[in-house]
């Protein structure tokens, strides 16, 4: 099987190219790499992740909704809950629409919207998820074992036992 090397880039259709570029540059700190007139390629310099925003001539318009088949949301990685708190402060500064940080089953989540309402998220995993993913990179864990671990972990949360680290 050919290797899957990860995500190279994501591209969003937007209603206003300049407004979208300002959001991703000012709020998320991306840098414009290329401008094709109808599309702009932005890059996160430290990670090399590329995001393009495209304004199509025949655009249908209207705000994004995750209820339409296609993209539900794009999740960005964060290191910790404290980092998410810093993002909340930044979002307040720029008037970004977001929901407060949520402590979910396996990670902390901070959901927000771009100017077209595209659903975005920062998440920071709990140590247990990080360790499971590291183990999965090292060995092929049988599906049954994964399901058992997840079931036991979720049951421990419901019984009030602190999450495993």
- The whole-model pTM stands at 0.84
- Topology of domain 72-125, CATH: 2,3-Dihydroxybiphenyl 1,2-Dioxygenase; domain 1 (3.10.180)
Cα–Cα distance for residue pair 19/77, rounded to 1 Å: 24
Strand partners for 107? 125
For the stretch 53-71, pLDDT in tens is 999 887 776 778 777 767 8
pLDDT value, residue 165: 47
Over residues 87-94, mean pLDDT = 97
Identify the CATH class of 7-56.
Answer: alpha beta
| Alpha carbon of residue 38 to chain centroid | 25
Give dist(CA 51, CA 56) in Å, integer: 16
Residue 140 has pLDDT above 80, yes or no: yes
């Amino acid at each position: 099987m050919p290797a899957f090397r990860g995500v190279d880039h994501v591209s969003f259709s937007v209603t206003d190219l300049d407004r979208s570029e300002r959001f991703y540059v000012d709020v998320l700190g991306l840098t414009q790499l290329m401008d094709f007139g109808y599309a702009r390629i932005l890059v996160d310099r430290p990670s090399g992740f590329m995001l393009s925003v495209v304004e199509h001539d025949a655009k249908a318009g209207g705000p994004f909704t995750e209820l339409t088949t296609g993209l539900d949301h794009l999740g960005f990685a964060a290191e910790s809950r404290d980092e998410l708190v810093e993002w909340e402060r930044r979002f307040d500064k720029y008037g970004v629409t977001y929901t407060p940080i949520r402590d979910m089953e396996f990670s902390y989540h901070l959901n927000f919207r771009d100017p077209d309402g595209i659903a975005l998220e920062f998440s920071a995993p709990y140590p247990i998820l990080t360790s499971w993913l590291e183990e999965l990179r090292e060995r092929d864990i049988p599906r049954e074992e994964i399901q058992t671990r997840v079931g036991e972990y979720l049951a421990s949360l419901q019984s009030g036992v602190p999450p495993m680290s």
